[in-house]
Structure 1
Amino acid sequence: MRMPWRSATVLGVPGALLALGTLVWPAAPTAAVSEPYRPEPRPFGAACSVYVEGSRATAHCHNPYLDTDRVQLHVECARWWDVDADSAPVNIGPTGRATLTERCWKEIGSVWVSHLRR
């Protein structure tokens, strides 16, 4: 005797799903070691433009970020006998601006601005 079409579908589908489930079912999950949460560092640092004119150096700084930035202008003179100069450090708060100047007696060798998070 032949089985009606509907009975075959009802009996065959669960069996196929069970067979398919054992073939496709993923293995038991393994314990993964998670990394500790480290927040993204906030942007920091005032944008400074440095200008050298003769023996005088000037830095115009603007801080667009939330953290206070302590900036300082450093001037290294070209002559060995000329004393190098460092400006007084200035704290620039959010949206603050500052102008720093220093000079040598003769030529300037190099100029840079240092930043410190406050």
Structure 2
Amino acid sequence: MPTPKSIKHALLIILRIIMLIMLLFTGKLLYEVAYSPYSSAIANPDRLTVLYRPGCHRCQKVMPYVLTRTLFSVKRIYFVNADKLTAKQLKKAELTLTPGFRYKGSTVQTVNHRKIKQIVDKSAF
């Protein structure tokens, strides 16, 4: 019969493994937010590109949802700051309103969680 000390030790090991997995996926997500060049994002239409503006109220409203939905994605996701894009790049990305979710050559501009979930689920897993 396991002792309370051995159960506590096993739970501690499991908790450490979970924390390590969370840390690795969070690091991947932070990398994607920090390093997502527009040229790479457009060159890879089979990967989700999230176009956002840091000062946009619509973006601020949905980004926590988007980040939690994409945290455990095994595919590369691009997060592109639309403030840094030229008018020509915005036109090519078909972006007039942020946030925009570009996948398979089309851009959806929405804050609807159901639509965002559909896009993320199709593209990220």
Which bin holds the TM-score, normalised by the shorter protein? under 0.3
After TM superposition, the score normalised by the length of structure 1 is 0.24
- Tell which structure's C-alpha radius of gyration is larger: 1
Normalized per residue, the structure richer in strand is: 1
Q: Give the TM-score normalised by structure 2.
A: 0.23
